[in-house]
A = this chain, B = another copy of it.
Amino acid sequence: MNSAKKPIKGYTNIRVRYAETDTMGILHHAVYPVYFEEGRTELMRDYNFSYDEMEKKGVILPVYSVEVKYLKPAYYDNLLRLETELEELKGVRIRFAYKLFTEKNELMATGAVSLIFTNADSFKPMRPPLWFKEIFGLE
User: A interface vs B, CB < 8 Å?
Assistant: 15, 17-19, 21-26, 28-34, 37-38, 41, 50-52, 55, 60, 62-70, 73, 75-77, 120, 123
Q: B30 contacts A37, CB within 8 Å?
A: yes
Q: A65 contacts B70, CB within 8 Å?
A: yes
Query: Contact partner of A65 among B63, B65, B68, CB < 8 A?
Result: B68
Bound-state Cα–Cα, A115 to B68, Å: 12
Q: A33 contacts B33, CB within 8 Å?
A: yes
Contact A34:B23 (CB < 8 A) given known A41-B18, A50-B77 = no
Q: B23 contacts A30, CB within 8 Å?
A: no
Bound-state Cα–Cα, A63 to B71, Å: 9
Q: A77 contacts B52, CB within 8 Å?
A: yes
Contact A37:B18 (CB < 8 A) given known A31-B30, A51-B77, A77-B51 = yes
